[in-house]
A = this chain, B = another copy of it.
Amino acid sequence: MPSDLSRNDPRPKVRLYVEQALGQGQHIAVTQDQAHYLGNVMRMPEGAEVAVFNGKAGEWRARIAGLSKRGGTLTCEAPVAPQLDPPDLWLLFAPIKKARTDFIVEKAVEMGASRILPVQTEFTNAERIRRDRLQAHAIEAAEQSAGTFVPEVAELQRLDRLLADWPEGRSLWWADESLAGATLAEPAPAPAAILIGPEGGFSPAERARLKALPQIRRLSLGPRILRADTAAVAALTLWQARHGDWPHQT
């Protein structure tokens, strides 16, 4: 659901993701859930300001034109922030327990991944994922993180099939636990992807296949064993600080 984070900037505190085109004077329909949130949870009156984004056109200021039990309408007023697309960086991860999977999706959005790919590995328990629920979670994370982009959550794919058809020009940064203590490989620039393994690690066959991939780069995340959600944030941080949309170190 929408954000109620306090912030130091003067933008409206409530941010909503909408699917429609945004433009001055444009009327925007909000869903029943969004109307309930605005009217009943946040108790916002008609005329109150909200921020809206659709993942493509930056953030806009809008006003509540009307709310009912079934939905509502906003009027789009003026652009507030430009569209900020993340770099072309995919995050591949093996779904784990539900709460941790939700966290990984949330973290990937906050950290600026452009696409989220759940992968099924030999040691992954998950046979299926609720893609629609994870996509909704990604939208919520974008609302909360002041992002204007919502990464797509792909369907669960088998890792071996994904690797067999891996795009030639896309480097794959693999957080390899067996490298603890080794020297870090420099990450390659976009297009790139980060692969976070399941808690049980990769199978010997998977490890061999990964090592043989020409686009592979092995990455160490320090001497302690990180949970998958921690490892995802750490690897995304290292990449973003080196090649991404984060400010670079002087």
Query: Is residue A216 contacting chain B, with contact meaning CB distance below 8 A?
Result: no
Among A67-75, A131-139, A229-237, the one that faces the other chain is A229-237
Query: Is residue A111 contacting chain B, with contact meaning CB distance below 8 A?
Result: yes
Copies in the complex: 2
The answer to whether B182 touches A230 (Cβ under 8 A) is no
The answer to whether A110 touches B230 (Cβ under 8 A) is yes
The contact string, 1 if C-beta is below 8 Å from chain B, for chain A 137-151, is: 000000011110000
Cβ of A244 to closest chain B Cβ, rounded Å? 8
Within 8 A of B (CB), among A1-45: 5-8
Query: Is residue A224 contacting chain B, with contact meaning CB distance below 8 A?
Result: yes
Query: Is residue A189 contacting chain B, with contact meaning CB distance below 8 A?
Result: no
Chain B residues whose C-beta falls within 8 Å of the C-beta of A186 in the assembled complex: 249-250
The answer to whether B200 touches A6 (Cβ under 8 A) is yes
- A221 is contacted by which of B106, B223, B225, B246 (Cβ under 8 Å)? B246
The answer to whether A246 touches B184 (Cβ under 8 A) is yes
The answer to whether B145 touches A226 (Cβ under 8 A) is yes
Query: Is residue A248 contacting chain B, with contact meaning CB distance below 8 A?
Result: yes
Query: Is residue A158 contacting chain B, with contact meaning CB distance below 8 A?
Result: no
Chain B residues whose C-beta falls within 8 Å of the C-beta of A106 in the assembled complex: 227, 230
The contact string, 1 if C-beta is below 8 Å from chain B, for chain A 183-226, is: 11110000000000001110000000000000000001111111
Query: Is residue A245 contacting chain B, with contact meaning CB distance below 8 A?
Result: yes
The answer to whether A222 touches B250 (Cβ under 8 A) is no
Chain B residues whose C-beta falls within 8 Å of the C-beta of A109 in the assembled complex: 224
Chain B residues whose C-beta falls within 8 Å of the C-beta of A181 in the assembled complex: 247
- A241 is contacted by which of B145, B225, B227, B238 (Cβ under 8 Å)? B238
The answer to whether B7 touches A201 (Cβ under 8 A) is yes
Query: Is residue A114 contacting chain B, with contact meaning CB distance below 8 A?
Result: no
Residue of B nearest to A227 (CB): B110
Cβ of A15 to closest chain B Cβ, rounded Å? 10
Q: List 8 A-B contacts (CB under 8 A).
A: A6-B199, A110-B225, A110-B226, A111-B224, A186-B250, A222-B244, A234-B237, A237-B237
* 6 A-B pairs with the lowest CB-CB distances in the bound complex, closest first: A6-B200, A222-B246, A233-B233, A237-B237, A234-B237, A146-B225
